[in-house]
Amino acid sequence: MSEAQLAGGIDAALVARARQGEMVAFEVLVVKYQRRVAATVRRLVHEDRITEELTQEVFLSVFVALPSFKPDGDFAA
């Protein structure tokens, strides 16, 4: 099993647990991807305060969309 497949399997398990209401699982996903999301946002807006707010909005949107996430998809995408 490749490293990417292992990471995808871990993400899928975390998403499944978060969908069942386990907030710690979602927090782990946030911690895992927060820097990546913030870096992407920062490249677009170039302002720390706005970057922080938009990054929070991204994760809020992800949380709301968890019920429709297809487990066979790539969470990182």
Residue 42 domain flag: yes
pLDDT of residue 50: 97
Residue 71 domain flag: no
pLDDT of residue 7: 61
Q: Which residue has the higher pLDDT, 65 or 71?
A: 65
Q: Which helix (H) or strand (E) holds 2?
A: none
Residue 73 domain flag: no
Residue 72 domain flag: no
pTM for this model (two decimals): 0.83
Range(s) of the domain holding residue 56: 3-66
- CA distances, 32 to each of 29, 46, 47, 55, 65 (Å): 5, 22, 22, 13, 18
Residue 76 domain flag: no
Residue 62 domain flag: yes
The C-alpha atoms of residue 40 and residue 42 are separated, in whole angstroms, by 5
Residue 37 domain flag: yes
pLDDT of residue 58: 96
Total number of domains constituting the chain: 1
Residue 52 domain flag: yes
Q: Average the pLDDT over 9-35 and give the result.
A: 94
Q: Reply yes or no on whether the pLDDT at 75 is more than 90.
A: no
